[in-house]
Amino acid sequence: MAYDDQNVFAKILRGEIPCDKVYEDEWALAFRDIAPQAPTHVLVIPKGPYVSLDDFTTQAGGDEIAGFVRAVGLVARQLGVVDPGYRILANIGPDAHQEVPHLHVHLFAGCDLGRMVKKGLV
């Protein structure tokens, strides 16, 4: 899948639409989800044009991958959610209901987050 530079997160990265920013560095931008599903719900995105984690892990350079993963941990510490814990999640493709075609890691925290996936899948 080719990267669509008109996707909403590309527009946020270019500053064309606003976001509620919580963190930014050379490799990543983190901002609050517009429709939060937990008391804390932040999205961490790489600055480069990657459709998904699959695209990122095949195309991105080592520095980008290291910088992005490090940023996810840094954001969690900055938010103060390491204790009692948080969850990260990345949707890739239609079965996972990925809506925005720019890699993003959801960071959920602030309450007991329940089970990982809905019951009854297997």
* Active-site amino acid positions: 104
Instruction: Pick the piece of the chain touching ligand AMP (CB under 6 A) from 44-52, 64-72, 74-82, 90-98.
Output: 90-98
Among 99, 115, 119, 120, binds ligand AMP (CB under 6 A): 99
CB of 102 to ligand AMP, least distance (A): 9
Query: Is beta strand 40-46 parallel, antiparallel or unpaired with respect to 28-32?
Result: antiparallel
Is 35 one of the binding residues for ligand AMP (CB under 6 A)?
yes
Asked if residues 107 and 76 have their Cβ atoms less than 8 Å apart, the reply is yes
Is 87 one of the binding residues for ligand AMP (CB under 6 A)?
no
Q: Provide the token pair at 46.
A: 């790489």
Distance CA 33, CA 36 (A): 5
Is 22 one of the binding residues for ligand AMP (CB under 6 A)?
no
Distance CA 38, CA 46 (A): 22
Length of the chain: 122
Contact positions toward ligand AMP, by CB under 6 A? 8, 19, 33-35, 43, 91, 97-100
